[in-house]
Amino acid sequence: MGLAVAKESDEGLDVVWGLGSGRRARALLREGRRVEVLALDIDPSRPDLARAVIGACARLTAAHASGRLRVMIGAPESFAQRWRELGSCAEFVTVHVDLGALSAVPAPAQELARVVERVHLERDDLVRFARLMHDNLVENIDAIAGASPLSAWSDAARGRPAFVLAAGPSARSAMPWLERARALGPVIAVDTALPLCRSYEVPVDCLVSVDPHATSRVHLGTGAADVHALAFQPFCAPAIVDAFPRRFLATPQGDRLCDRAAALLDLPAVPVAGTVLLYALQVAATLGCSPVILIGADFAHIGGQTHALGTATARSASPCGGVVNDARGAPVPTTSTLLRFLHAVERHVRESEAPHWVVDGGGAHVQGTRVVDPVAIERWVRRHTNGAASAQPLRVPEIADGPTKARRGEVWRALVREFDAI
């Protein structure tokens, strides 16, 4: 089939990542659009598959013959080159993503597909929740201005293990030994797991929150005591931020307003991926912890549950057809969202200097990590804490003095006014 690339025009071009069944292209063509499909879901050695999709639909066949539909297949590098070309005429290009098609790409293109999917979903969330995030940031400015930058915790627990508690179904089984583990290194928990920690009286060295939605106040249902400090981001729900007087802050990398603030105020910026667990791992990396031990990081629905019983959002999960392999290669049920979070965590692990251990709860295997048996890790903790003195607590974040807080607040307010005026 013809794969020639024509020059863009003022007419505009709709670009679709993924051919799939051709459904997305057909819908755009019905609207009279001009469409180019970047078909990274088609194996370059099997162009006949793309021809079959086009030939099965009269509308697609006619549009391809007239030049209103173009389909590109090839290696990931060729798609990257094409994307650079399209970037020079971005004002004429509208981008669409066929998530179904991207879930079935050949192995060489999987990493590119994950990046496209992640960027698409993050931008979609920004569009849908822009007003909420804007209002949260404005309401949080005083807390943001007074918070200590996360970088102030740099190497504060160098060489000590970190116990990073996610809220997956297997998290509950680790609670009996987790308080003892604090003698070895900090417990860093996602906000969803706070009720579970409270019910087992496990103090939290760092609670982590990024959720912008007011419904996240449900995590505070059993109180907010025994939390040493909160690590949050500017768009976090004010109900969570206001519940903790000791706070650390890092900004989401890639947000233009926050990037400006980070440069002006010397704040750390971290990659984001929609999952609070990634931020918890970034806190562990800032602290210099090694190894980083993940608990409840299942990325799967174990026992038909979304989260551990006792967490804020635990509920039964209906089968949705998605599966992922566990540490033994056996399939376990999951969702596309959990897989996206899994890939983000795997990317962090690949780029990290510290070894990462995952306490095996029957969930997804996390590439690049060491899988440890739950009984073995409990013995390891007991052995290393037997007779050991309590570990030195993490230092308390500094609260900015009046003039510093006022200066920071004015920088944030000026940036908000500047962006509101655009």
pLDDT computed for residue 4 by the predictor: 36
CA distance 109 to 112: 5
Distances (CA, A) of 96 to 66, 78, 409: 22, 18, 38
Length of the chain: 422
* Spatial CA neighbour of 337 closest among 276, 252, 274, 281: 274
d(C-alpha 69, C-alpha 77), whole Å:
22
Q: Which CATH number fits domain 131-385: 3.90.1480, 1.10.287, 3.30.420, 3.30.70?
A: 3.90.1480
- Which pair of structure tokens corresponds to residue 10? 């003022």
Q: What are phi and psi of 34, to 5 degrees?
A: -105, 130
Sign of the C-alpha dihedral computed for residues 332, 333, 336 and 337 taken in this order: negative
In angstroms, the CA 368 to CA 355 distance is 9
- Please give the pLDDT value at position 319: 75
Residue 152 and residue 161 in contact, taking contact as beta carbons nearer than 8 Å: no
Nearest to 359 by CA among 332, 342, 390, 380: 380
Determine the angle formed by the axes of helices 336-351 and 276-287, rounding to 10 degrees: 10
The Cβ of residue 239 has, within 10 Å, a number of other Cβ atoms equal to: 17
Cα 120 to the center of its chain, rounded Å: 13
| pLDDT over 50 at 6, yes or no | no
pTM for the whole thing?
Answer: 0.79
- The closest alpha carbon to 286, from 245, 323, 256, 249, belongs to 249
pLDDT at 204: 96
| Tokens 């089984």 belong to residue | 173
Question: Is pLDDT of 85 > 90?
Answer: no
| pLDDT (average), residues 368-372 | 97
First-residue to last-residue Cα distance in the chain? 44
Confidence (pLDDT) at 2 = 39
* Residue 67 CB neighbours (<10 A): 11
Q: Give the torsion sign (CA, 166, 210, 222, 162).
A: positive
Which tops the pLDDT comparison, 208 or 322?
Answer: 208
Mean pLDDT of the chain: 90
Residue 384, pLDDT above cutoff 70: yes
- Identity (one letter) of the amino acid at 268? P
